[in-house]
Amino acid sequence: MNITISGVTVECIKGDIASQKGFSCVVNAANAWLKMGGGVAGAIHRAAGPGLEEECRPLAPIKPGEAVITSGHRLPNRYVIHCLGPVYGVDKPEDKILASCYRNTLELADSYRIDSIAFPAISTGAFGYPVEEAAKIAFKTILEEIPKLKYVKKIRFVLYSEKDLEIHKKVLSSLTEEAK
Ligand code: AR6
């Protein structure tokens, strides 16, 4: 699925965040210490190699909602933006924190003149955020940010399961219908 708003394409695909060729930047659903971890953080660090953890060390710890940027090392992407999502039911208010993840990441990407960025569904794995609730916040924030972006032209959501892909497609199309 693929929609274009103010010259920015937003798409949802099923795939692995660590193999997004042709994208300048991928987003890591990080832990506060910017270490390997499981899920997305595991896939990204494994593919990037040990140089990524080394570059991350002086940038840690980060707070929920915060985003920091590094190079992509052995990933097919020039940059990685590491963002710490809220733990559902623990880091409050979780909706505001999750929105700031997407806002801060897009603002940071634009300040680096990044043209294309791929996101995982931040907080919806180990951090327990219900997928549909998280998708609504993610896309609502992205749609609010798009008019402010100068350089980012392609935004991709990379979902790990068919079910998560379907939920994201449904949420994105209902929000863009509402905006018409
Ligand atoms: N590509 C795309 N999506 C993936 C991949 C992948 N390779 N692997 C998992 N997902 P999570 P969080 C999906 O747990 O909830 C880590 O251990 C997954 O199905 O990676 O923000 C860190 O170290 C889920 O929908 O991130 C942190 O401690 C979504 O990506 C903590 O988990 C996010 O799952 C962060 O938890």
For the stretch 95-137, pLDDT in tens is: 999 999 999 999 999 999 999 999 999 999 999 999 999 999 9
36 lines ligand 1 (CB under 6 A): no
**Stated length of the chain:** 180
Return the pLDDT at 178. Answer: 76
pLDDT confidence tier of residue 10, bands split at 50, 70 and 90? very high
CA dihedral 37, 43, 47, 53 (to 10 degrees): -20
User: How many whole angstroms from 180 Cα to the centroid of ligand 1?
Assistant: 32
Return the pLDDT at 180. Answer: 63
Q: Are 118 and 27 in contact (CB under 8 A)?
A: yes
pTM, 2 dp: 0.98
For the stretch 57-75, pLDDT in tens is: 999 999 999 999 999 999 9
Sequence-distant contacts of 43-52: CB under 8 A, at least 24 apart: 43/16, 43/17, 43/18, 44/17, 44/18, 44/75, 44/80, 46/18, 47/18, 47/19, 47/74, 47/75, 48/18, 48/72, 48/73, 48/74, 48/75, 48/80, 49/73, 49/74, 52/80
* Run of H or E including 79: strand 79-83
Q: Are 26 and 82 in contact (CB under 8 A)?
A: no
User: How many whole angstroms from 47 Cα to the centroid of ligand 1?
Assistant: 15
87 lines ligand 1 (CB under 6 A): no
For the stretch 75-87, pLDDT in tens is: 999 999 999 999 9
Q: Are 118 and 23 in contact (CB under 8 A)?
A: yes
The rounded mean pLDDT for the chain is: 97
Sketch out the chain's domains with CATH numbers. 2-179 (3.40.220.10)
139 lines ligand 1 (CB under 6 A): no
41 lines ligand 1 (CB under 6 A): yes
Tell me which of 31, 35, 40, 105 to substitute to probe ligand 1's pocket, judged by most ligand atoms within 8 Å of the beta carbon.
40
